Structure 1
Amino acid sequence: MTGSFYRGLLVLKMIPHEPAGISTSQIRDRLASEHEIAVDTRTVQRDLASIEMVFPLGRSDGASAQVFWPRNCQVELMPSHDDYSALTWNLLDEYLSPLLPASMAEQARPLFDTARRYLEEGDRQAVRQWRTRVRAIPRSFELHPPDIDPAVQRAVYEALYHGDQLRVSYCSRGSADCRDLDLHPQALVVRESVFYLLARVDGYDDIRHFALHRMARADINGRDAEFDADFDLDAYIRSGAFAYPEGDRVDLVLRFAAYVGQHLLETKLCEDQSSTELDDGRLEIRARVRDTQQLRWWLLGFGAAVEVVAPNSLREFIREQARGMLARHDGHHE
C-alpha cells in the first residue's frame, strides 16, 4: 500500500457528516498525532482535491473552511452489510434513534440509510419478512405520545450530553402559567411514551422530573451543569421513583379469580412471591412490594376479579375507590 493511498484512506475516515466538519489543519494535526504521518497543509489540500474528484464533499465558507459529508449523502464507505448487520442497524434506527443526542442521530443517519437500502434491494426476501413479522408492543393501554418541540428536545439532549445548564420555560400539569427555571441535567428517562429529564433546579439539591412535552422553551444558558457524582440512575429507578411511592414496603396478599391470576405464576411480583390455590378456586398471591401509585392503578384495573386482603390500608383504599366508582355510575346518565 503506497503512502499516499494509505494517507488518503485515513483522511476519508476523519471526515465527519454534516453539521460537523473538519479543517485541513485539523486533518494535518491528527495525521501527525494519531498516525505519525508528518505532512504540510498543502499536501492535505491535494489529498482532499483528489478525494473530491470521486466523492461529493461539502465545504463551509470562511477563513477556517471545513469539509464534511453532506446530509443525505449516499456514499457508503463502511464495510458492506450482510443480513445480520443491516437488520441490526435497522432495528437500532427504529427503537434507539429517539434516545440519541440530535447531533449523533444526524451523524448516524447515513448508517441507518445504508441498512435500509440494503434491506430494500436485491433478493433478500427472508430478512425483509423477518422485519415485517416481529414487533414490540406495550402491555398496557397505549396512548398517543405527546408532542415535543424539536428545538426543546435538541437543547435538552445536547445539554445532557455536554454537561451544560439549561434555562427552560416549564408549564406544570394543570397550570396555565410557565415558570423560567435554570436546570442541572442529570439523566433522561423514557417511560412508555413520555420523555423525562431528571434534573436539579439551580439552588436546590433534590432530583425532579421534567416532562419534555411541558417545556415551552429550552436553551443552553452557557454555564456548566453541576452533576451529582454519587447519582446512580439504575438505583434511582429501582427505588421506585417512577412508580410514585405511597409508603414503605408492604406484605401484599391478593386473591384473584382463578384465570385472571394465572399470569402472576409466570411473571411474578417479586422473587420470593408465594401462591396458594384456595378451596373456592381462587388464587392467593403473597408478595412483599413497595406501596406505590403504580401498584394501586394496576390493582384497580382488575376490578372485581381481585380482592386485596392485606395490608388493611391498601384494602381500604380499594374500598373507597369502589364506593366512589359506584356512586359515580349509579343511575342513568343524563
Structure 2
Amino acid sequence: MPQRPDTLESVLLAVELLRRIPRGRKITAAELHRQLKDAGMERTERTIQRQLEMLSRHFEIERDERSKPYGYRWLERAQHLAVPHLTPHESLLLQLAEEHLKHLLPTRLMQSMDGFFAQARRNLGDDSQGHNVRLAREWPRKVRVVATSQPLLPPSIAPGVLEAVSDALYGNRWLELDYQNAAGKRKPVKVMPLGLAQQGPRLYLVCRYEGFGNERSLALHRVRKAQASTLAFERPADFDLQKYDDDGRFGFGEGERVQLTFCIENEAGFHLRETPLSQDQQVRDCGDGWMEVTATVVDSAMLQWWLRGFGESVREVNSKPAQPLRTTTLLNK
C-alpha cells in the first residue's frame, strides 16, 4: 500500500494537535504524544514538539516557556477549531450536556470537549443565524429540573480535588487524600476509587481504603487535598455501582430489603398511588381518610427520615425482613 505524502501526514498531525490542545489548562508534548499513541498515531515526541512550535506561531496558542516541559493551551478568546456543521438542535444538546455532565464525566474528557461546547455557545449566541437558533436559545429557559426537597447550595470543593479524583477514577489508579470527616478529624488516606455519584448538591466518591475489602462513600467537599498516584490497580470484579446504589448505600443502608407497612393520610400519601415505592406496592383503603401502604424497600436511614417527614400524617409503621420473616418496628406514632 503506498504511503501518504509527508505533507498530508503533517497536515493530519497538525489537525489532531489543534483538536487536542485545551483551553483553561496547559498540556505538554509528552501528554499529547501519549494521547496520539493511544489513538493509533505513532509519532516521535520530537516531531510533536516541532509541530507545536510551528502551531504556536500561526495560531492563538500560548506556549509557556517558564519551565520545562513547555505547556501549550489555546488563548481564552481564540476561535479554536470551529464546528460549522452543528445545527441549532445539536448546539442546544451540547449546551445542556455540558451543564448536566460537568461533574459526572472525567475532567480531562470535559476539557477536551471545550472547543465543541464553546462553538455550541457561539452558535446559540449568534442572532444572525435566524429563527431556529433563537428558538433553541430560548429552550433552556423553558425547562427546569426542580428539587424534591428543600434546595441547598452546593458545598465548595477544594481546587484540584475533582480533577485528581476523576483522573484516578478514569485510569484505575490509587488516590492519596487528605480527608476530614464530619466530626472534623483530618488524616491522610490511600483509597481505590470505584465510583462517583451526585446526590442533590453533593458529590460522593465510592472507594475502598488500602488494606480493606469494603466500600465507603466519601464526600468530595471534605477532601482537602487529592493526588492521583502513578500506581494502577485491577478494578474489583465484584463491585457494581448500580447495585451499590440499589442496596441503599447512598441512603445510609446496608442492602437489607424489608417489607414495609404503614398507614398514611390520603391527602399526604396520594402521590404514592402515582409514584409507588416499589413494583410490588399495594395500597388498601382504611377509611376515615387513611390508607395502608405495603412495599418491599431497602431499609436505610434515608427511609426513616422520609417517614418522619410526614409527621402525624403517618402511623403504625412496621417492617419485617423479606427473608426470613421476622417482624421489627421502625417507627411508631
Q: TM-score range by the shorter chain?
A: 0.7 to 0.9
Are residues 1:76 and 2:81 paired? yes
User: In the TM superposition, what whole-angstrom CA distance separates every residue of 1:307-327 from its partner, at most 9, and x where no partner exists?
Assistant: 234337435x344xxxxxxxx
Give, in whole Å, the separation in 1 of the partners of 2:134 and 2:6. Answer: 43
Partner of 1:289: 297
Please tell me whether the aligned partners of residues 217 and 250 of structure 2 are also in contact (alpha carbons under 8 angstroms): no
Contact kept? 1:17, 1:71, Cα under 8 Å = no
Instruction: Write the letter of the residue equivalent to 1:291.
Output: D
Deviation (angstroms), 1:227:
2.6
Cα pair distance change 1:71/1:161, threshold 3 Å: farther
- Contact in 2 for aligned 1:72/1:110 (Cα 8 Å): no
Aligned to 2:263: 255
- Match among 148, 170, 184 for residue 157 of structure 2: 148
Deviation per CA, 1:134-167, whole angstroms, max 9, x where unpaired?
1112211122211110222222111112222122
Structure 1 match to 2:134: 125
More strand by share: 2
Matches within 5 A, 1:259-278: 259-278=267-286
Q: 2:238 aligns with which of 230, 234, 240?
A: 230
Q: For residues 252 and 211 of structure 1, do their structure 2 counterparts lie closer, same or farther at Cα, with a shift above 3 Å needed? A: same
Return the TM-score normalized by structure 1: 0.79
Partners of 1:86 and 1:119 within 8 A in 2? yes
User: In the superposition, relative to structure 1, how do residues 103 and 72 fare at CA in structure 2: closer, same or farther (>3 Å)?
Assistant: farther
Number of matched pairs: 309
Task: Report the counterpart of residue 16 of structure 2 in structure 1.
Answer: 13
User: How far has the Cα of 1:251 moved from its partner?
Assistant: 2.3
1: CA distance, partners of 2:101 / 2:281: 33
Contact 1:152–1:215, Cα closer than 8 Å, also in 2: yes
Given the alignment of the two structures, is residue 159 of structure 1 paired with residue 141 of structure 2, yes or no? Answer: no
User: Separation in 1 of the partners of 2:68 and 2:190?
Assistant: 36
Preserved CA contact (<8 Å) 2:178 2:224: yes
The structure whose Rg is larger is 1
Closer, same or farther: CA 14–129 of 1 in aligned 2, 3 Å: same
Cα shift readout 1:88-143 (whole Å, capped 9, x = no counterpart): 11001111112233322222222211111111112332112212111112211122
CA distance in 2 between partners of 1:85 and 1:295 (Å): 40
Per the alignment, residue 209 of structure 1 pairs with 217
Q: Report the secondary structure of 1:314's partner residue.
A: strand
Structure 2 counterpart SS, 1:111 = helix
**8 Å contact from structure 1 (residues 57, 68) kept in 2:** yes
Match of 1:136 among 118, 125, 145: 145
Given that 2:157 and 2:221 are in contact with CA atoms closer than 8 Å, whether structure 1 keeps it comes out as: yes
Structure 1 residues not aligned, in runs of 5+: 320-334
Query: Greater shift after overlay, 146-155 or 279-288?
Result: 279-288
Name the CA shift for 1:42/1:220 in 2 (closer, same or farther; >3 Å). Answer: closer
Structure 2: where are the runs of 5+ without partners? 320-326
TM-score, normalising length: structure 2: 0.79
Q: Distance in 2 between matches of 1:46 and 1:143?
A: 48
Aligned to 1:240: 248
Counterpart CA distance in 2 for 1:43 and 1:161 is: 25
Q: 2:56·2:62 contact (CA, 8 Å) conserved in 1?
A: no
Offset from partner CA, 1:176-212 (integer Å, 9 cap, x none): x311111111111111111111111111111111111
